[in-house]
A and B are shown apart, each in its own frame.
Chain A
């Protein structure tokens, strides 16, 4: 089974802190994604990556950056956390090509910024 692991399930950080959310997948997937989920808004794409060292902005990249130095690892960085970044963050990965592609999600990281 595909496994997408997010290192921290619950975090509480202070305003202005630098926050790292780590995600690792074990199926050699090319694509990796970071979403945030908020009530009534569904999931919104922050950043995604098609390959190592490549990244593209999603729909809401402001206040975030990402890093993909290795194929299996995709990190989301909040340079200076703010209270409006309190949310659930979901990492996902997928394999490109073929028929019947699906995207696999991690368990989620609940971030509270106080």
Chain B
């Protein structure tokens, strides 16, 4: 059974600071997704990582994938309040965007 562990579960950080969210998974997979969810809203796709060593960046967020270590990271650079949200990683166990297993989510709170 595929397990996806995400940590930390909750992160409070000051504006301007850097931090990393970790996503570990238990079986081989080449596809990993990161999503953002604002309170009461649906999931917004942030990154799709499709191969070992993949790195993608969008603004202050950068995601990477190490399939050998079964680890993905979401790095936040110089956080701003607008980044406050819950972030989920999800692993595609079928490899065809057909079935995702999600981590528990990391609730990020960026304080002034």
- Nearest-neighbour CB distance to chain B for A60, whole angstroms, equals 12
Q: Which of A43, A48, A106, A107 contacts B98 (CB 8 A)?
A: A48
Residues of B within 8 A of A59 (CB): 101
Flag if A100 contacts B102 (CB, 8 Å). Answer: no
Query: Binary interface profile of B, 18-49, with partner A (CB < 8 Å = 1, else 0)?
Result: 00000000000001010100000111010010
Q: Which of A45, A95, A99 contacts B99 (CB 8 A)?
A: A45
Give the most central of A43, A48, A99, A105: most B CB within 10 Å. Answer: A43
B104 within 8 A of A: yes
What is the CA–CA distance of A58 and B102 in the complex, to the nearest angstrom?
13
Known: A40-B9, A103-B33. A45 touches B100 (CB 8 A): yes
A residues with a Cβ closer than 8 A to B are 31, 33, 35, 40-45, 48, 50, 58-59, 90, 94-97, 99-108
B residues with a Cβ closer than 8 A to A are 4, 6, 9, 31, 33, 35, 41-43, 45, 48, 50, 88, 90, 96-105
